[in-house]
Amino acid sequence: MPTKPKKILVVEDEPSLVFTLRDTLESEGYEVHVCEDGSSAMPTIDALRPDLLILDIMLPGKSGFEIAKECRDLKYTFPIIMLTARDQEIDKVTGLNIGADDYMTKPFGVKELLARIHARLRRANSYSKTGPLDVVTLGQVRIELNESIVVKPDSEVELTTREVELIRYLVQHANEPVSRDELLEQVWRYEFSTNTRTVDVHISKLRGKIEMTPEDPRYLVTLHGVGYMLKLA
């Protein structure tokens, strides 16, 4: 049976770039769909359920930041590659913190974009094939990742999208040491040096949600001088 082509949605209002992207991606065998304004992006995403989203930041009607945030709030997990003409670090940080997977500044080479698309789709496909756990049990605590909640004997706590991503990555590497730099690269997807305090703060908050005694963690432990480890039986 022939492989079904991956669906890529391009949300971009620059006609010449849309033409180039459509022509290039279709020549690579992708099924390409286009939105030329931000207002129509979410209805198209809901109907299409793309395998990957290429998203400009500066759009009429609704910004790329708003669209990316809505996608992650709705628990859509497809990769998002953001495009912008502005070469400012704050834009990159904002996009990645919202939940974008990658970021390219215009003008860019189509070969580089294709390489990034291939890498993101390969990773997403591998991730789905490994069958990531929907539920993680840590003693008396049950983590329901699809629902983004932690269920304890006497309470329920909501998880943020970033915390869900963090848990999924730690589960994939359970019982292995994971460094702060690795988490920044793989979960936050930073491509530049940043303060690893970001990881420490998120780990501390996550412990408070998933451990019965966060001050004496049993499962999400610190490996001094190395990073962290999620201990699973």
Which pLDDT band, with edges at 50, 70 and 90, does 195 fall under?
low
Range among 1-5, 100-104, 190-194 with highest mean pLDDT value = 100-104
Domains 7-129 and 135-230 share a fold: no
Q: Report the percentage of the chain scoring pLDDT > 70.
A: 87
Q: Which helix (H) or strand (E) holds 206?
A: helix 197-210
Q: What phi and psi values does residue 175 have, to the nearest 5 degrees?
A: 65, 20
**What does the pLDDT look like over 121-171, one tens digit per residue?**
876 665 444 444 578 899 999 999 888 899 999 999 999 888 988 998 898
User: What value does the mean pLDDT take over residues 185-214?
Assistant: 81
Looking at residue 1, its pLDDT comes to 47
Q: Could you report the per-residue pLDDT of 5-51, keeping only the tens digit for each? A: 999 999 999 999 999 999 999 999 999 999 999 999 999 999 999 99
Q: What pLDDT score was predicted for residue 86? A: 66
pLDDT, position 89 = 64
Given this model, what pLDDT does residue 130 score? 40
- The rounded mean pLDDT for the chain is 86
From the CB of residue 143, how many other CB atoms can be counted at a distance below 10 Å? 24
Query: DSSP secondary-structure letter at 185?
Result: I
Please give the pLDDT value at position 219. 95
The reported pLDDT for the residue numbered 188 is 78
Rounded to an integer, the average pLDDT of 219-230 is 94
Strands lying side by side in the sheet with 141-144: 135-138, 141-144, 149-152, 155-158
Q: What is the pTM of this model?
A: 0.60
Section 105-133 average pLDDT: 74
Distance of CA 60 to the CA centre of its chain: 24
Tokens of 229: 């480890």
pLDDT of residue 65: 93
- Percent of the chain topping pLDDT 90: 52
Is residue 100 predicted with pLDDT exceeding 80?
A: yes
CATH of domain 7-129: 3.40.50.2300
**pLDDT for 73:** 84
For the segment 173-189, the average pLDDT, to the nearest whole number, is 86
- The CATH number that domain 135-230 falls under is 1.10.10.10
Provide CB contacts within 8 A for 211, sequence distance 6+. Answer: 138, 141, 217, 218, 219, 220
Question: Could you tell me the two tokens for 142?
Answer: 């049950």
Instruction: Give the domain ranges of the chain.
Output: 7-129, 135-230
**pLDDT for 133:** 59
